[in-house]
Chain A
Amino acid sequence: AQSVTQPDIHITVSEGASLELRCNYSYGATPYLFWYVQSPGQGLQLLLKYFSGDTLVQGIKGFEAEFKRSQSSFNLRKPSVHWSDAAEYFCAVGARSGRTDKLIFGTGTRLQVFP
């Protein structure tokens, strides 16, 4: 069965510092991979997605993620964090079944940004 692990529950960085959020997945085939961000009281907003092709994907708000099949990882990165990036980040794996996808989420990483 597919699963997603986000090892870091809480990360604190200074504004302007670089960021890397870890995500490891378990899935028998090539997965669809997603990163979502959730601000307090809000729904989930898609940051970026990987379906196939280039393993380095660019997303919104200056985020990028790299798919590494050998490590079953899809880590999220940002070279310089802004205070507005403070939020909860969720990695998800999509398993295609017929014409639909089942999305499985990790437990999330809470990002705190200090000025």
Chain B
Amino acid sequence: EAGVAQSPRYKIIEKRQSVAFWCNPISGHATLYWYQQILGQGPKLLIQFQNNGVVDDSQLPKDRFSAERLKGVDSTLKIQPAKLEDSAVYLCASSADTGQAFFGQGTRLTVV
């Protein structure tokens, strides 16, 4: 069974630039999560989708972050414009109706 795929693995951008991350969840998983993990901290939920609908985006900085999952499968997370404090690993995870989330390897973003 293929796991959660994320790209790119690494990205370095200058502040005020924009960046996008892509996630392909495990086939058949209805729930998709985006987490932000700042160095030395636990993952923080940014947004949660159930199929193509948003379940929770209460911690998403909506002035600069956006995410979509148009066909209920792949998802993209965008930051525009990026700030220095956005430097983190962005983790995508998916789950079926079992409560167990499977994680991708993450995208490490460095904003300089």
**A residues whose Cβ falls under 8 Å from a Cβ of B:** 4, 6, 32, 34, 36, 41-46, 49, 51, 90, 94, 96-108
How far, in angstroms, from A50 to B17 measured CA to CA in the complex? Answer: 42
A21 to B104, CA, bound (A): 24
Give the distance to chain A from B64, nearest Cβ to Cβ, in Å.
Answer: 23
CB-contact partner of B97 in A44, A99, A102, under 8 A? A99
Number of chain B interface residues as a range? 20 to 34
Instruction: Report which B residues bind A (CB closer than 8 A).
Output: 4, 30-31, 33, 35, 40-45, 48, 50, 55-56, 91, 93, 95, 97, 99-106, 108
A32-B42 contact given A101-B31, A103-B33, CB 8 Å threshold:
no
Give every chain B residue within 8 A of A34 (Cβ-Cβ).
100
